[in-house]
Chain A
Amino acid sequence: MRDEEVDKVLHNAAGVAPRVEAALLKRIADSINSSLRPVRPLPPTWVLTGTLALICAAVAVGAAACTGFYGIGKLSPWERVLIFSTLGILVWVAGKEFVSQLIPGSRQHLSVSAFLTIASAALLGVFALVFRDYHTDHFISAGVTCLLTALLLAIPAAFLSWLLLRRGFAVNALAAGAAAGGLAGLSGVTMLELHCANFQALHVLVWHTAVVPVSAAAGALVAWALRGRCEI
């Protein structure tokens, strides 16, 4: 049997009239018509992505302004360009990923897990290139402080992003939560690069990079916990 014959069988079987009760369709139409109001379609993806990127940048710069720009002050110009352009690209991609999770049936070039892997690898690569001081002091205590600070900062970034896109998420809640967490985590990493003056390679490679996957995991966990309550 050839594919054309399988096609023909499928076509014949699909031609049988769908069996759905008219009363059911009428009930559905009546129930949605009872609460039907005009809605405004979402703005273009680039507008939403740009707004999310601005939120992340504003939160990171605001927090660094409060705590001090010690980190960026110690970096050379090319190191600043390398680190912050990488972070900018990652924030843009994460924002786009988050927006695509909002819109059912949108084209997804990258899964959330693939994005998180690529983002972590990119950060590791850039940090390995820039930071060469391999001696370590207070590895755990200094690292945990940085991780917690960045994660605390990710909370307002995630909250503001959620405020922007709160009406929606009819599809994969866990992926949306992870994308939001990843985006907010990048905001936290940006703040650390602006503020943290600890340039020991292991500190930056381990603790600064860890912010993104940990924040994404926290985002997925929150989305999972809220899934039933918010019907997302």
Chain B
Amino acid sequence: MDSGSNLDTLMARYQAGDFAAATALVECIGPQLHRFFMAQSASRSDADDLLQETWLRIHRVRHTYRPGEPVQPWFYAIARRVRIDHYRRASRTTARERRLEELSDVAAAFPREEAQGDDLETLLAPLAESQREVILMLKVAGMSLEEVARATSCSVGSVKQKVHRAYRNLRDRMNAMGPKKGSSGGLT
């Protein structure tokens, strides 16, 4: 269900007004996007809200997807923008201007409420926001470098650089935690 061609077909049927395709698409892409938000926001309720907002936006602009184009960058570009808009709104309402890098520092300093020790969200928490999103797209969504570049509106070279830095950070952290923990995925 989650292969690119199946998603393309589902998307084309969704544009044609097929209820079953729309439901299948929500069930297929929804968990991926939810995980994308979970890894980047502090709470589950935020991730739920962001997922709903993303689907509203997807539904409103579904005509902008063109059959034949890669579908995952299309979804992730919208999800990424919803997250940025949400972050800006939240910053305005709380009147606290914090940089994204600082947020990741806070996340690293204070364990997440749902951290289980070996989940992806905890593993990626120490990374900067931009590094975390490219790792999520590459490793969870299974997108190519070119697709990640499209989703994040930057060049392939820039994506490679972020991945390189993310891996370096993760390597350093895993080395600091010791080889036993690192190899079993436990980094908390």
A contacts, CB < 8 Å to B: 1-3, 5-6, 8-14, 16, 18-21, 24-25, 27-29, 31-33, 35-42, 44, 102-108, 111, 167-172, 231
Contact = CB atoms under 8 A, between A and B. Distances in A.
Contacts of A28: 26, 30, 51-52, 55
A3 B167 contact: yes
Interface in B22-64: 22-23, 26-27, 30-32, 34-35, 38, 44, 48, 51-52, 55-64
Interface string B102-134: 000000000000000011100100000000000
A75 to B, nearest CB: 39
27 contacts: A5-B174, A5-B183, A6-B167, A12-B185, A14-B120, A14-B140, A19-B34, A20-B31, A20-B35, A25-B30, A32-B55, A32-B56, A38-B15, A41-B65, A103-B74, A104-B73, A104-B75, A105-B75, A105-B76, A111-B153, A168-B61, A169-B61, A170-B57, A170-B77, A170-B81, A171-B78, A172-B81
B17 A20 contact: no
A64 B168 CA distance: 59
B55 A103 contact: no
Interface of B: 14-17, 19, 22-23, 26-27, 30-32, 34-35, 38, 44, 48, 51-52, 55-67, 69-70, 72-78, 81, 118-120, 123, 135, 139-140, 147, 149-151, 153, 167, 170-171, 174-175, 179, 182-183, 185, 187
B179 A1 contact: yes
Nearest to B150: A105
Contact of A13 (B17, B55, B123): B123
Contacts of A8: 183
A3 B168 CA distance: 9
- Classify the interface of chain A: helix, strand, loop or mixed: loop
A24 B48 contact: yes
Contacts of B52: 24, 27-28, 31
Given A9-B174, A10-B120, A42-B64, A172 B153 contact: yes
B74 A20 contact: no
Nearest to B15: A39
Given A1-B175, A13-B185, A20 B34 contact: yes
Residue among B77, B78, B149 with max Cβ neighbours from chain A (10 Å): B77
A90 B72 CA distance: 31
A17 B6 CA distance: 21
B120 A13 contact: yes
A42 to B, nearest CB: 6
